[in-house]
């Protein structure tokens, strides 16, 4: 098996900005990726939604790039750009022709240095966040249940259990002073990681980074609130009625292990055995044999993260859309029976070979894109302080053995550690209320 390695170099500016460079000249494209160590889990009660609000604010203009010009300059130079808010970080990127690296870096530095935090921008982006919530979540089946209710079912610590989007009441109460304080605290160079990946000259890239970012002042390190969860001693079960859902859904979640622990690597392989491809355990058992499940997905950190950007505490969660002829409790019993089979009988070697091959293929395919490569390196730097782990973790995952998967299944899949949420379509909920079949 040919060795798989992503080349990179790393340096840090005096103001604390961590920078990772990864050169690949196969395609004349370069990706600029900037992520900040701020997500919804840093928020405080009464000021929720600030992490997501700031993703919007960052596109409202800066000291030398008036509103709308960031988009216009990137797109007119053949590039693309976007940003996203997560549980544990917020990120921004530009993908450009390699001749336009300086433009991407200058734009990111300009808004880190002097974002236009004004009352007008706050008001219109507050409204934009509300509109996005209404259009992208509240009018989509299952979305509101997963965004709002699932964290409350799965977690007890408020830092983990409140909504990623936040409340409209908190957003309405936000002042310009609140937003300025949030920006100074979390959008500082010493709270950020910058990656450059693709076709570029490393020496020139370093010169540009030092020129554009070097004079942005560092800020005091933000306070970090505890995310620890109390030990779960009994299962939780909640029912949510969804007027937009056409078929029922079930979510099952189990405590996730510490990031990059032995159990972490084992659980990634166990998930492949359970859910990857049509030969996986759950497809064969639930879709083909029982015909109880229509479709499913699962991940460590789902629905807010994946195994790559998972930061504990989190959950290994599974989501099922299922046949209304089957009850939620019957489906749960079927899923638990498959878990019990692994715990008692283990997994076969051909399953292990298939899981390893699919994992290796998917991880390497991800690295073909300069943006995906930059994102992965940046997340390793942010979460672990070592982008080189991208070259170690795939090999560590491929060394997981069948007996480790069996042992983890014995310890993990217990009812008292389970959080469960049933999502009922409104029609089925009405039937249940009237005493009919649900």
311 vs 278: CA distance, rounded Å: 29
> What is the rounded average pLDDT of the residues 217-233?
94
Q: What is the DSSP string of 204-270?
A: HHHHHHHHHHTTSPP-PPPP------PPP-S-EEEEEEETT-SS-EEEEEEEPPPTTSHHHHHHHHH
* Ordered structural domains, the chain, with CATH: 9-213 (3.30.830.10), 236-433 (3.30.830.10)
Q: Among 51-55, 119-123, 433-437, where is mean pLDDT lowest?
A: 433-437
CA 116, 117, 123, 126 torsion-angle sign: positive
Phi-psi region of 385 (alpha: psi -120 to 50; beta: other; left: phi over 0): left
CA distances from residue 155 to 10, 143, 228, 229, 309 in whole angstroms, order as listed: 36, 18, 10, 7, 19
User: Is residue 405 over pLDDT 50?
Assistant: yes
List CB contacts of 352: < 8 A, sequence separation 6 or more.
269, 273, 401, 402, 405
Partner residues linked to 263 by β-bridges: none
Partner residues linked to 318 by β-bridges: 252, 298
And the tokens for 371? 């943006």
Q: What is the CA 410 to chain-centroid distance, rounded?
A: 27
User: Is residue 438 over pLDDT 50?
Assistant: no
Q: Peptide bond before 25: cis, by omega within 30 degrees of 0?
A: no
For residue 277, give the nearest of 375, 353, 330, 366 by alpha carbon: 353
The owner of tokens 């995952």 is 397
Convert the pLDDT of each residue in 57-103 to its tens digit: 999 999 999 999 999 999 999 999 999 999 999 999 999 999 999 99
Tell me the three state secondary structure of residue 434: coil
Assess contact for 160 and 41: CB atoms under 8 A. yes
The owner of tokens 């596109």 is 59
Q: Where is pLDDT greater, at 206 or 167? A: 206
List CB contacts of 44: < 8 A, sequence separation 6 or more.
225
Return the exposure string of 9-39: e unless at least 16 CB atoms fall within 10 Å of the residue's CB, then b: ebeebebbbbbbbbbbeeeebbbbbbbbbbb
Convert the pLDDT of each residue in 244-264 to its tens digit: 999 999 999 999 999 999 999
For residue 107, give the nearest of 179, 22, 33 by alpha carbon: 33
Q: Where is pLDDT greater, at 165 or 150? A: 150
Q: What is the DSSP string of 91-127?
A: EEEEEEEGGGHHHHHHHHHHHHHHB---HHHHHHHHH
For residue 296, give the nearest of 323, 329, 318, 280 by alpha carbon: 318
Residue 138 banded pLDDT, cuts 50, 70, 90? confident
Convert the pLDDT of each residue in 325-353 to its tens digit: 999 999 999 999 999 999 999 999 999 99
Return the exposure string of 162-181: e unless at least 16 CB atoms fall within 10 Å of the residue's CB, then b: bbbbbeeebbeebeeeebee
Going across the sheet that includes 18-23, the strands are 9-12, 18-23, 192-198, 29-36, 90-97, 80-85
| Confidence (pLDDT) at 306 | 95
Q: What is the DSSP string of 16-68?
A: S-EEEEEE-TTSSEEEEEEEES--GGG--TT-TTHHHHHHHHTTS-BSSS-TT
User: Is residue 303 over pLDDT 90?
Assistant: yes
Strands 18-23 and 192-198: parallel
Q: What is the DSSP string of 351-403?
A: HHHHHHHHHHHHHHHHTTSHHHHHHHHHHHHHHHS-GGGHHHHHHHHHT--HH
Q: Count Cβ atoms below 10 Å from residue 225 Cβ, excluding itself.
A: 13
> What is the rounded average pLDDT of the residues 408-436?
85
114 vs 117: CA distance, rounded Å: 8
> What is the rounded average pLDDT of the residues 271-291?
97
And the tokens for 55? 């993703």
């Amino acid at each position: 098996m040919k060795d798989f390695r992503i080349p990179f170099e790393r340096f840090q500016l005096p103001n604390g900005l961590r920078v990772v460079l990864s050169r690949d000249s196969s395609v004349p494209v370069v990706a600029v990726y900037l992520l900040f160590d701020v997500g919804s889990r840093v928020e405080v009660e009464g000021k929720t939604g600030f992490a997501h609000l700031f993703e919007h604010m960052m596109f409202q203009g800066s000291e030398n790039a008036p509103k709308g010009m960031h988009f216009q300059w990137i797109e007119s130079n053949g590039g693309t750009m976007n940003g996203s808010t997560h549980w544990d970080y917020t990120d921004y990127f530009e993908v450009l022709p390699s001749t336009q690296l300086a433009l991407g870096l200058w734009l990111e530095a300009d808004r880190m240095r002097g974002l236009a935090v004004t009352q007008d921008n706050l008001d219109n982006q507050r409204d934009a966040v509300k509109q996005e919530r209404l259009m992208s979540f509240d009018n989509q089946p299952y979305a509101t249940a997963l965004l709002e209710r699932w964290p409350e079912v799965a977690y007890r610590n408020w830092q983990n259990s409140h909504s990623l989007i936040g409340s409209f009441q908190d957003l309405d109460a936000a002042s310009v002073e609140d937003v300025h304080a949030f920006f100074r605290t979390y959008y500082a160079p010493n709270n950020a990681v910058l990656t450059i990946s693709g076709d570029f000259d490393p020496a020139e890239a370093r010169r540009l980074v030092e020129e554009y970012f070097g004079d942005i002042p560092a800020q005091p390190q933000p306070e970090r609130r505890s995310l620890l969860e109390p030990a779960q001693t009994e299962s939780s079960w909640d029912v949510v009625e969804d007027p937009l859902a056409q078929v029922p859904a079930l979510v099952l979640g189990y405590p996730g292990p510490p990031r990059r622990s032995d159990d972490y690597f084992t659980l990634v392989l166990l998930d492949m055995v359970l859910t990857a491809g049509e030969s996986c355990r759950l497809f064969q058992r639930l879709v083909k044999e029982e015909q109880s499940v229509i479709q499913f997905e699962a991940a460590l950190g789902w629905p807010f993260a994946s195994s790559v950007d998972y930061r504990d505490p989190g959950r290994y969660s599974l989501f099922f859309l299922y046949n209304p002829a089957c009850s939620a409790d019957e489906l749960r019993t079927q899923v638990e029976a498959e878990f019990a089979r692994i715990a008692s009988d283990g997994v076969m070697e051909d399953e292990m070979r298939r899981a390893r091959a699919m994992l290796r293929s998917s991880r390497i395919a991800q690295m073909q894109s300069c943006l995906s490569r930059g994102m992965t390196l940046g997340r390793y730097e942010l979460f672990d302080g070592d982008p080189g782990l991208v070259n170690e973790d795939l090999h560590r995952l491929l060394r997981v053995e069948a007996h480790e998967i069996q042992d983890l299944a014995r310890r993990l899949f217990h009812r008292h550690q389970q959080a469960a949420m049933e999502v009922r379509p409104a029609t089925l909920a009405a039937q249940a209320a009237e005493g009919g079949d649900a």
